[in-house]
Each structure stands twice: as structure tokens, then as C-alpha cells.
A and B are shown apart, each in its own frame.
Chain A
Amino acid sequence: MATERRAQVIWRGDLMSGSGRIENVTSGAIGGLDVSWPARSEDPGGKTSPEELIAAAHATCFAMALSHGLAQGGHVPERLDTSATVSFQPGEGIAKIALTVEGRIPGLDVGAFEEAAKQAKENCPVSKALASVPEITLDAKLA
């Protein structure tokens, strides 16, 4: 079954001096988030940006795929600390995404964990959607 998720943004004025706001999303979990070009391309100054939201999307997608893969192999994780760092090059787009995970999984060796993390990185839907990003790296270790 297909699922749809929607987000609405209102932007006022030009790109350089104007500003926008993420007004609402399907779930209602986030909203009222300001965005601007200077906050995106220079110092964020407390504002989010498309790249930060992509980082959050990628980290959550990767965490879900990895927990699912580990559970299927009989190793339900106690905890997965994941992060995604998106590098944005104004004028070009996303140059790199760095994924990291530190996992607490009883009875699993590091080689098996690294392999599961690699599979999750390659196959989670957000990774597939972002497959044309020039470089996606992974650093996986056990806690």
C-alpha cells in the first residue's frame, strides 16, 4: 500500500533577504519551523534547513532498516545511536552524507554488525532515493 506524507511551506519575498516557514505536515509532529537562505548556506542561527531535514530523514530511515535487519537475523537491538551529516554545497547541492551508528546488541560480533549496517545503508528507502548523492559514507561500531 502506498503512503503519502505532505508538508507545506510558505515563503515571503526574495531568496536572499526573504524567509520561509514550514507550516505543517501530515502527522502534525512538526510545524512552525523557520527557514532562510543565509541559515541554510551559512550559520544556521537556530533555524533548520532542507539539508538538516534530509539528515533527520536519513538517520531515521537507516535506524529502522538496521533494526529490522538485525531482528530478522535474531538480534533485536537494545539501542542504535544513529546520525546523518549532510554536506551542502550552494550552487551544486548535496555533496556528501556521512552516516554513523553505535549499536548495543547483545551477542552480536562486530563483523556481523558491520555487515547489517552496510545492508541497511544500501537498502533503506531514503538511501535509494538519495542514490545520486556523490558520496555516502558509513561508520558502524558496537557500544
Chain B
Amino acid sequence: MPFSLTSRIGDPGGKTNPEELLAAAHAGCYAMSLAGELTRAGQETARVIVTATVTLDEVEGGSHRIVASNLYARARVQDMETAELERIARVADQGCPFSALIKASGTVTVTAELEGGANGD
């Protein structure tokens, strides 16, 4: 799979790059953590869609740093209030080892929504 500096800081042009691979890793790690927490809350048949967006930015001194990974989760669950999903989404972030790593040098944000609105349909 080809990669290059241009595909990393400019238009990807069909090539992957380290940050995109990290985004895929973070989305996968968090989706598993969220699935585990939803099961714990009695939601064994949930479906979650997780998007991770990793930001690479130039910092003081001209070097590049991964400054953030923002998680967005949409969940199809049974009989759950938005506030409860948001609570579970935060617990899942705390239990995701990759979130913990990123937080050591950048920020991780979590946004969670019920699929189809508050009734989950």
C-alpha cells in the first residue's frame, strides 16, 4: 500500500498515511470498547458506527504533532436515553487503551448520538 509525505500533509490522492492508519486503529479500538460497555448495560444487539478523525498540525519549532483524535459514535440501541448513551460513551473512552495513549500528548473528544433520534429507531 503506497504512502508519501504529500499524501500525509496535502491531498491524499488515494494514498494512505500514518494518521489515517491511527484513525482506523482508534475507531476500531473505541468501537470495541463501546460494544463492551453497551453489553454491560444490557444492549447485546446494538450497532455502532464510529468515526475517528486524527489531526496532524505544525507546532512551535516547525515540527509536526498529532494534536487530536475526535471520536463520533452513532448507536442503534433499545430503549435508551441520550444522556445514558453519553455516559456509556465516556466510560468506553476511559476503557479504550488507544484513547489513553493519545491523551498523553493530545486531546480526545467523544460525541455520541442515538441513531434515528432519542427513540433509537
Residues of chain A having any CB pair with chain B under 8 Å: 1-16, 18, 20, 22, 25-30, 33, 35, 37, 40, 49-51, 53-54, 56-58, 60-61, 64, 68, 92-94, 123, 125-126, 128-133
**A4 with B104, Cβ < 8 A, contacts A53-B21, A53-B24 known:** no
Chain B residue at minimal CB-CB distance from A40: B32
| B20 / chain A contacts, CB cutoff of 8 Å | 5-7, 25-27, 29-30
**Distance of A92 Cα from B96 Cα, bound (Å):** 9
Partner of B105, one of A16, A28, A93, A128: A128
Main secondary structure of the interface of A (DSSP, over half): mixed
B64 lies within 8 A of A125 (CB)? yes
Does B119 reach chain A (CB closer than 8 Å)?
A: no
**Distance of A26 Cα from B27 Cα, bound (Å):** 13
Which positions 76-109 of chain B face chain A at CB distance < 8 Å? 97-98, 100-102, 104-106
**Distance of A53 Cα from B19 Cα, bound (Å):** 10
| A25 / chain B contacts, CB cutoff of 8 Å | 16, 20, 23-24
| A5 / chain B contacts, CB cutoff of 8 Å | 12, 17, 19-20, 22-23, 53-54, 56
B53 lies within 8 A of A6 (CB)? yes
B54 lies within 8 A of A29 (CB)? no
| 9 pairs of A and B residues whose beta carbons are closest in the complex | A93-B97, A27-B12, A132-B104, A57-B21, A15-B36, A53-B25, A7-B24, A7-B23, A29-B16
B56 lies within 8 A of A2 (CB)? yes
Which positions 14-62 of chain B face chain A at CB distance < 8 Å? 14-29, 31-36, 38-39, 44-58
B28 lies within 8 A of A50 (CB)? yes
A54 lies within 8 A of B39 (CB)? no
Partner of B52, one of A6, A37, A56: A6
A-B contacts, 17 of them at CB < 8 A, read A2-B56, A5-B53, A8-B27, A9-B52, A13-B45, A13-B46, A18-B35, A29-B14, A30-B24, A35-B32, A50-B98, A57-B19, A60-B21, A128-B105, A129-B22, A132-B104, A132-B105
B1 lies within 8 A of A29 (CB)? yes
Query: Nearest Cβ in chain B — how far from A141, in angstroms?
Result: 23
Query: Nearest Cβ in chain B — how far from A24, in angstroms?
Result: 9
